[in-house]
């Protein structure tokens, strides 16, 4: 019964006012060919997305947000927690460089600093239990010293697995027993400093990990059998999960602590249940649900939230599942995946990115003369998928209807595009050729990569990987080559 109240996201804003200032979005940058930051900021503004949550403090990204009017939650990655936890000076230096400088020189509207990202996930085996709270304290001290603590609040984006229900209902909610004391320390600290509790809620993950999960309960259209909890009734998992947190806070004396929904969304590919129909149903249902301002049974009123995510990221880890690279409401190149009314525009449609520059219209595909029985085929496809992105291949995915030759073409083209269409990237032995005929079919899009963006901080994307070894990150049998 736990899935009625707690959704677990297994991976790598409630403003302080009482009004909804518009939906936010998570802007992740784990992409081989990210859109230029200025293009993304324009995308945010044209879609009237008024808040953005970042996972790091990339200089170009923050600079591009200057004078945009977009509220920013800037992130500190988990691998920085140890240094910030052990040194107040390190925290002061980080705040000076990544917060104060942007606020003063670029007029970036930073409102929150996110210390870590889901650091207490059970899958981390306690790696960040000793560093998260001290880092949070030191960053807060640094904000106070910088004179920014009144306008910028600290928080810790936490996964919904930090709380659980003893009876499968929201009223049974409390913080996880192994971190109960630590959670109370953090919650008290947030309360004392006027800061919010940030939680990531993912009904999709509950469906992904539990085949018995009632599908309709993940959505907001009232088709699920309601769940009664005393005098309260729950028609969707989000409300139940959110109120499980509310009960957890209330039982421990913090019933009025503001809550931010840091991440919520639905992926569109990489799994049978990760598709455009479900994603549109979920995200539009969520938008309609929160735009009504009704809140949840335990916490009526406006809910501020950040959709996860803005844009697909083809370089994310797929350890949690192939869907990890497909959470965006926009594709990697800023194309809207489906109709979505964010409640801020008259048209009800997403506005695509403008001024996107693509590489030449050509693809790498399997030669018609190539033999499927050639032993080089399996090696070549494993190599290509290991260094590129084949998460759209497989049962129930957007390219799941391709035959063996189509799977091979998709794999080698992904590698070719990832490496900026260099001729050498389409020289798989006796297997591949370059074509100017678009091999896309149906829902399966054979991508043409966008021109690589070279940031001012010296980032380099899309560089050709030298074939020194076979990197078999995706097992070839998933491509069903026979």
In Å, how far from its chain's centre is CA 331? 13
Q: Calculate the alpha carbon distances from 23 to 290, 344, 472 in Å.
A: 9, 9, 40
Whether the Cβ atoms of residue 420 and residue 450 lie closer than 8 Å to each other: no
CB-based burial, 211-224: b 16+ in 10 Å, e otherwise: eebbeebbbbeeeb
Query: Residue 122 catalytic?
Result: no
According to DSSP, residue 361 is labeled S
Cis peptide before 321 (omega within 30 of 0): no
Q: Which burial class, exposed, middle or buried, applies to 270 when counting CB atoms under 10 A from its CB (0-12, 13-18, 19+)? A: buried
Strands annotated E in 78-172: 109-115, 153-155, 157-159, 163-165
Query: Residue 118 catalytic?
Result: yes
Angle between helices 132-145 and 180-192 (to 10 degrees): 10
What whole-number distance in Å separates Cα of residue 221 and Cα of residue 68? 35
What whole-number distance in Å separates Cα of residue 64 and Cα of residue 232? 45
In Å, how far from its chain's centre is CA 123? 18
Supply 74's token pair.
């800037």
**Catalytic residue from among 46, 71, 92, 118:** 118
**Catalytic residue from among 263, 313, 324, 447:** 263
Whether the Cβ atoms of residue 55 and residue 75 lie closer than 8 Å to each other: yes
Whether the Cβ atoms of residue 352 and residue 336 lie closer than 8 Å to each other: yes
Helix (H) or strand (E) holding 261: strand 259-264
Mean pLDDT by 10 residues, the chain (482 residues): 40 35 89 97 96 97 97 98 98 98 96 98 96 98 98 98 97 98 98 98 96 95 95 98 98 98 98 98 96 92 96 96 98 97 78 97 97 94 97 96 97 98 96 98 96 65 38 34 37
**pLDDT at residue number 346:** 55
**pLDDT at residue number 345:** 60
**pLDDT at residue number 322:** 97
Supply 462's token pair.
């899309």
The dihedral formed by the CA atoms of 228, 230, 232 and 235, expressed in degrees to the nearest 10:
-10
For residue 89, report the phi and psi dihedrals to the nearest 5 degrees. Answer: -65, -40
Provide the terminal-to-terminal Cα distance of the chain, rounded to the nearest Å.
42
């Amino acid at each position: 019964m736990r899935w009625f109240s707690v959704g677990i996201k297994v991976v790598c804003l409630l403003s302080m006012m009482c009004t909804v200032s518009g939906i936010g979005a998570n802007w992740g940058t784990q992409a081989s060919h990210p859109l230029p930051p200025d293009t993304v900021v324009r995308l945010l503004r044209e879609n009237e997305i008024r808040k953005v949550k970042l996972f790091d403090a990339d200089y170009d990204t923050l600079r591009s947000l200057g004078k945009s009017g977009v509220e920013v939650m800037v992130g500190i990655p988990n691998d920085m927690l140890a240094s910030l936890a052990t040194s107040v000076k390190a925290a002061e230096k980080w705040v000076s460089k990544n917060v104060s400088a942007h606020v003063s020189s670029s007029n970036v509207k930073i409102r929150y600093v996110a210390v870590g990202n889901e650091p207490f996930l059970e899958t981390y085996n306690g790696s960040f239990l000793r560093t998260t709270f001290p880092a949070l304290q030191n960053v807060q001290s640094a904000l106070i010293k910088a004179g920014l603590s009144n306008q910028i609040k600290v928080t810790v984006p936490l996964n919904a697995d930090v709380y659980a229900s003893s009876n499968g209902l929201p009223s049974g909610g409390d913080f996880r027993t192994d971190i109960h004391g630590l959670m109370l320390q953090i919650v008290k600290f947030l309360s004392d400093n006027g800061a919010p509790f940030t939680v990531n809620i993912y009904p999709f993950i509950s469906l992904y990990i539990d085949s018995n999960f009632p599908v309709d309960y993940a959505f907001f259209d009232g088709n699920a059998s309601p769940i009664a909890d005393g005098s309260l009734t729950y028609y969707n998992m989000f409300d139940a999960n959110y109120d499980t947190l509310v009960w957890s806070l209330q039982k421990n004396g913090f019933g009025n602590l503001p809550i931010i929904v840091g991440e919520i969304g639905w992926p569109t590919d990489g799994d049978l249940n990760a598709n455009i129909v479900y994603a549109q149903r979920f995200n539009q249902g969520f938008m309609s649900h929160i735009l009504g301002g009704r809140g949840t049974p335990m916490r009526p009123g406006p809910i501020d939230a950040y959709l996860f995510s803005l844009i697909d990221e083809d370089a994310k880890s797929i350890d949690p599942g192939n869907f990890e690279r497909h959470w965006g409401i926009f594709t990697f190149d800023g194309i809207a995946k489906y109709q979505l009314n964010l409640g801020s525009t008259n048209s009800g449609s997403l506005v695509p990115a403008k001024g996107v520059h693509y590489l030449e219209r050509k693809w790498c595909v399997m030669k018609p003369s190539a033999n499927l029985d050639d032993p080089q085929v399996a090696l070549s496809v494993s190599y290509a998928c290991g260094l590129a992105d084949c998460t759209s291949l497989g049962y129930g995915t957007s390219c799941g209807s391709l035959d063996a030759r189509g799977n091979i073409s998709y794999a080698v083209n992904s590698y070719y595009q990832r490496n900026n269409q260099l001729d050498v990237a389409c020289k798989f032995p006796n297997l591949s050729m370059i074509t100017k005929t678009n091999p896309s079919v149906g829902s399966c899009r054979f991508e043409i990569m966008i021109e690589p963006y070279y940031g001012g901080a010296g980032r380099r994307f899309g560089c050709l990987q030298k074939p020194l070894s076979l990197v078999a990150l995706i097992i070839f049998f998933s491509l069903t080559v026979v």
